[in-house]
């Protein structure tokens, strides 16, 4: 007698029945780049299908997303006012602050709004923290991040997502939020963020490339996975609600391992370079976009991510790929 696993692959119905991994639009978070001005929809060359939106246009875009069943959004500010101390990030001067306010006024709890918390869009030098002697100062940066997170919460953000990789910022953010009665504002930590070449298109899109130096002194070395677990478990102990791994495709092993080592929900960020590779290859008719995108989404889910932040989100729901 032969054992024949192929028997269960013979038709779609039985394949669907025995599929071990499920993926639905509940898992999707859609990132947006918001800019100042009005009536602006500026396509980003490096990321086909992604644009900068002014707040008025973003309201329309979010409305159309809600109608398709997308409800969770991650906001990045573009063209923010830049200073050495990133002070404009912490009050109503910031574009993100105003976007959150407007979106929450308009859509209330029909959407779940997440904001990126990092200094790089607000510093003249483009680093993710406060610089002294060409070195990003962890302990000078942490209070700025906490103030930034608080201002986003005051604007109405449901969740803040610190992406800077400073040590101790999750605890500082949690304490400041709690002290100001924002106990229900959640924290999704970019817990494991590697120093990656895959952020290239984003840095063009968000105008956040460092003017000199690189981010290797605070982002992680991709040769390390044990260190990744140490970093992530620290964020868990500091009060993070969700742990994120970034980028996603080259780090499926890290997602898998983190899901085994932590009991928190795991998110992954399918970053700009990963997106651009798929889009450019699909536009050149080298790959079938739908097949490749869904293969990637299921890979994230199979690895252990229950949440996927991806620029493909609108295409996935718009074209009814799931």
Contact residues toward ligand PBG (CB under 6 A) are 116, 118, 120, 128, 163, 199, 202-203, 208, 215, 271-272
Nearer CB in complex with ligand PBG: 97/311? 311
CA-CA distance, 306 to 70, in Å (whole number)? 16
Contacts of 217 (CB under 8 A, 6+ apart): 135, 136
**307 closest CA partner among 20, 19, 113, 30:** 30
Binding Zn ion (rule: CB under 5 A), the pick from 65, 75, 96, 120 is 120
Selecting among 72, 102, 147, 193, the annotated active-site residue is 193
Binding to Zn ion by residue 118, rule CB under 5 A? yes
Identify which of residues 261 and 277 has a Cβ nearer to ligand PBG in the complex: 277
Q: How far is the CB of 33 from ligand PBG (least distance, A)?
A: 10
Residue 183: both structure tokens together: 């106990």
Q: Footprint of Zn ion on residues 122-151 (CB under 5 A)?
A: 128
Closer by beta carbon to ligand PBG, 63 or else 213: 213
Q: Alpha-carbon distance 66 to 282, whole Å?
A: 26
* Closest residue to ligand PBG using C-beta atoms: 202
Q: Is 246 one of the catalytic residues?
A: yes
Of these partners, ligand PBG, Zn ion, none, which one is at the site of residue 202 (CB under 5 to 8 Å by kind)?
ligand PBG
Give all strands (DSSP E) within the chain, no chain letters: 28-35, 41-43, 51-54, 72-78, 112-117, 131-132, 135-136, 159-162, 186-193, 242-246, 266-270, 307-310
Give just the sign of the alpha carbon dihedral 211, 202, 41, 73. negative
CB of 101 to ligand PBG, least distance (A): 21
Q: Which is nearer to ligand PBG, 55 or 136 (CB)?
A: 136
Is 193 a catalytic site residue? yes
Active-site residue list: 193, 246
């Amino acid at each position: 007698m032969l054992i024949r696993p192929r028997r269960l692959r013979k038709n779609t119905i039985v394949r669907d029945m025995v599929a071990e991994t499920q993926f639905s639009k509940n898992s999707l978070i859609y990132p947006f780049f918001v800019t100042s001005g009005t009536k602006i929809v500026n396509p980003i060359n490096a990321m086909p299908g992604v644009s900068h939106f002014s707040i008025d246009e973003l309201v329309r875009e979010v409305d159309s997303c809600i109608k398709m069943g997308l409800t969770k959004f991650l906001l990045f500010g573009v063209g923010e006012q830049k200073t050495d101390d990133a002070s404009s990030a912490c009050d109503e001067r910031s574009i993100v602050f105003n976007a959150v306010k407007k979106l929450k006024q308009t859509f209330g709890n029909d959407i779940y709004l997440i904001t990126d918390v990092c200094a790089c869009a607000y510093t003249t030098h483009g680093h993710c923290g406060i610089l002294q002697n060409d070195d990003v100062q962890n302990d000078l940066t942490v209070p700025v991040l906490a103030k930034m997170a608080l201002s986003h919460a005051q604007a109405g953000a449901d969740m803040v997502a610190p992406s800077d990789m400073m040590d101790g910022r999750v605890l500082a953010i949690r304490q400041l939020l709690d002290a100001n009665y924002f106990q229900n504002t959640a924290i999704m930590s970019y817990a494991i963020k590697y120093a990656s070449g895959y952020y290239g298109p984003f840095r063009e899109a968000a105008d956040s490339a460092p003017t000199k130096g690189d981010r290797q002194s605070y982002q992680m070395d991709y040769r390390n996975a044990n260190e990744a677990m140490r970093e992530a478990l620290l964020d868990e102990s500091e009060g993070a609600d969700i742990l994120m791994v970034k980028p996603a495709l080259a780090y499926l092993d890290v997602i898998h391992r983190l899901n085994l080592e932590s009991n928190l929900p795991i998110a992954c960020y399918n970053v700009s370079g990963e997106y651009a590779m798929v889009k450019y290859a699909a536009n050149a008719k080298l790959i079938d976009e739908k097949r490749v995108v869904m293969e990637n989404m299921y890979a994230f889910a199979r690895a252990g991510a229950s949440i996927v932040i991806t620029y493909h989100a609108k295409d996935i729901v718009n074209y009814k790929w799931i």
